[in-house]
Amino acid sequence: MSTSSPRVTKRSLQSLLLKRFGMAAGTYALVLLLLWVAAFNDLLSGSLSGALACSALVVVSQLAFLLLFRSGLNLRFRDPSLTEAQVLVGLALHTFLLAQLDSARGTLLLFYVVILMFGVFQLRPGVFARCAAFAFFSFASLNLWEGYHMRLAEPGLALLQNCTLSVALIWQSLFASYVQALRQRMRQRRYALQAHQDTLRGMMRQLEDLVATDELTGLFNRRHFLRLALRELETLGGGRQHGLALIDLDHFKRINDVHGHAAGDRVLQTFAAVARACLRDGDVLARYGGEEFVLFLPNTDADQFTTCCERLREAFACAEPVGVQVDNLSLSAGMTLIGEGDDLDEALQRADQALYRAKRGGRNRCDAAWEGAGA
């Protein structure tokens, strides 16, 4: 996932950029078509070779851009869309195209604005203004050049075209900065929204933890345990078994009576800490209620499960609760196995009966009820 997602993002970015390039190339094709319409209607200022050169330049420049996109070289640039470069090349080519026309020049003037439209959503306001200025000075220079060489047929019309173009470009530059400001605001809102979502997700996680956890011991509570165990049972494949044990701390009432309720709490916490140290990550231990706990060991058999419960019993017997002097800590456990198609309530009852036997048998021991579990 982590290795493929940047590649996927890159591929979708490239396909988007190629689509945009296709739009630009289509616009070039239309403008060239108009040039040739002008040519066939004798509206060229010079010979056909100028129109041919213009067409060739357009084709070559577009092929160069296509090559950049197809090879992925565009991704090495700060702006992989190469918008500024494409717009500047487009404006220069358009000026060259207009130079081929005389009276029809005004008709195609609006394509300066069309070319700059490609930068409205992509270019920063400063860069956009620079491109607009380039468009204006290109066209103004063309007129000045022709005026200097006495080739300007209608200077008044040329002046009007320059003024019209400058008004359109100023308006478009203002529009572009408005669009950019809007995009910036939307981006900030999206970030803020994402931050809110993250906070909410964190709070949800905290709530889920709170709902699933026993406050005193930090273990899962009974409700969460039952949910987990049922989920495990649903996904249990054929032939596999889980271990289920009810664990009860012995003579806990006496601990409370002799040492106080706070000491009893400390003993419960000590058991949780000892059990955590004894168990593996996938094992599930929960406080079932009071001084009773339930253990769920995935994928085990009778021998392994007994070894695990015995290890836990011995470890608790050696535990020393911090700040409390309690001797003879012990626990009793009732064990059973639970297999595919087994009922969780029935398995809990089997474990409870085994626990009862362990208590009756003198406590500080693990008794089993393998029968009925297919063990």
Query: Which residues are at the interface with ligand GTP (CB under 6 A)?
Result: 216, 248-254, 256, 261, 264-265, 268, 290-291, 359, 363
Q: What tokens were used for 316?
A: 């608790």
Which of these, 66, 14, 59, 65, lies nearest to 35 by C-alpha position? 59
What is the nearest approach in angstroms of ligand GTP to the Cβ of residue 253?
3
What is the nearest approach in angstroms of ligand GTP to the Cβ of residue 287?
8
Cα-to-chain-centroid distance, residue 299: 34
**167 vs 216 by CB, closer to ligand GTP:** 216
The residues, any chain, with a CB within 8 Å of residue 180's CB and separated by 6 or more, are: 123, 124, 125, 128
What is the nearest approach in angstroms of ligand GTP to the Cβ of residue 270?
12
Rounded to an integer, what distance in angstroms lies between the CA atom of residue 276 and that of residue 280? 8
Active site residue 371: no
- Calculate the alpha carbon distances from 47 to 33, 100, 371 in Å: 17, 8, 104
Cα-to-chain-centroid distance, residue 237: 33
Q: Catalytic pick from 146, 232, 291, 371?
A: 291
What is the nearest approach in angstroms of ligand GTP to the Cβ of residue 223?
16
Q: Nearest residue by C-beta to ligand GTP?
A: 264
| β-pair type (331-339, 366-368) | parallel
**28 vs 220 by CB, closer to ligand GTP:** 220
Amino acid letter for position 285: L
The residues, any chain, with a CB within 8 Å of residue 305's CB and separated by 6 or more, are: 243, 245, 297, 335, 337
Rg of the Cα trace of the chain?
Answer: 40
**268 vs 308 by CB, closer to ligand GTP:** 268
**283 vs 292 by CB, closer to ligand GTP:** 292
Helices assigned H by DSSP within 100-234? 105-108, 111-120, 125-148, 155-212, 222-234
What is the nearest approach in angstroms of ligand GTP to the Cβ of residue 296?
21
**84 vs 250 by CB, closer to ligand GTP:** 250
Compute the residue count for the chain.
375
Catalytic residues, by residue number, are 291
